[in-house]
Amino acid sequence: MNYFRAHTVEEALATLADDPRRRVVCGGTDAFADLALVPARSEWVDISRIDALRRIERCDGWVRIGAASAWESVALTTWLPVALRDAAAAVGSLQIRVQGTVGGNLCHASPIADGVPPLLSLDAQVELASVRGVRRLPLHEFLLGARQVALKADELLVAILFPLPADADRTAFVKCTNRDGSALAVVSAAVRLRMSAVNTVEDAAVAVGGASAVALRMPALEASLLAQRPEALRDIIDGASLAALSPIEDCRATAAHRTHLARLAIMRALTHCIEEAAHGVSAG
């Protein structure tokens, strides 16, 4: 196995362009945890020490998170939306959060990646760079399927961007696990919600993870929430068709249980947002 540590983005891109068999590694918590991802002759390009990829910034109404930002840094950045900070704080143990990164989470594209639902609900985009230039894609177009992303062999995910939520927006993330403590999600949901001055839903974004090959936004459900009062939401969620989801059956949960958890997680996330809006808790 060959290993090269890049110190600048340009150095990493040139190294990837030289030989498309080279693979990026950042925190290594996914890449080196799965032996299937470590073929004997892999050539690894380590991007974890590139300072430019570790910044978390806001500018001109946009948030920009460097792809090599560790989950612990996201969890500790208090001005980020609550849904994203709570998802960050829910990733593994402290050791995994210090090492594992936002970019690695998205590129590994697990159906239960904690980072994906909140970023989908925030309308996130990804910035991809190569020696050929830079392009941006909406996150939902980047995620092609379980463990499949729209990343070319010579490309690096450099940043994740999303519009800074409005002051009146509230966000929440709910992770359903099979046990307490650090555990992978069975199903998760993230919500971004804005209530109007007359206490009806003005804007809603809902994303569900763990109940399909990739986490999904739920546009029909989002539309059905608009103009509704808080007390109407439980019936809407209970009766909503979640046919867009395609949960698997495995030793962790049946498909029916995953659908049940999806409803539960969405309702809990909505309730968190409504309670925060009602009590005037600060934005995000």
Ligand X SMILES: Cc1cc2nc3c(=O)[nH]c(=O)nc-3n(C[C@H](O)[C@H](O)[C@H](O)COP(=O)(O)OP(=O)(O)OC[C@H]3O[C@@H](n4cnc5c(N)ncnc54)[C@H](O)[C@@H]3O)c2cc1C
Q: Are 70 and 99 in contact (CB under 8 A)?
A: yes
| Region for 99 from its dihedrals, namely left if φ exceeds 0, alpha if ψ lies in -120 to 50, beta otherwise | alpha
Q: Residue 270 class from Cβ within 10 Å (0-12 exposed, 13-18 middle, 19+ buried)?
A: buried
Q: Dihedral, CA atoms, 46, 145, 269, 124, nearest 10 degrees?
A: 60
- Residue 41 per-residue DSSP state: T
Query: For binding to ligand X (CB under 6 A), which residues are involved?
Result: 23-31, 33, 37, 47, 67, 91-92, 96, 99-101, 103-105, 107-108, 113-114, 151, 156-157, 184
Closer to ligand X at the Cβ: 187 or 237?
A: 187
Q: Please name the residue that has the structure tokens 């996201």.
A: 74
Choice between 175 and 263, CB closer to ligand X? 175
The CB-of-24 to ligand X minimum distance in angstroms stands at: 4
Shortest separation between residue 270's beta carbon and ligand X, angstroms: 22
CB of 37 or CB of 76, closer to ligand X:
37
Shortest distance, CB of residue 4 to ligand X, whole angstroms?
A: 13
Task: Provide, rounded to whole angstroms, the least separation between the CB of residue 209 and ligand X.
Answer: 9
Measured from the CB atom, is 153 or 256 closer to ligand X?
A: 153
Token pair, residue 105, equals 């989470």
Position of minimal CB gap to ligand X: 104
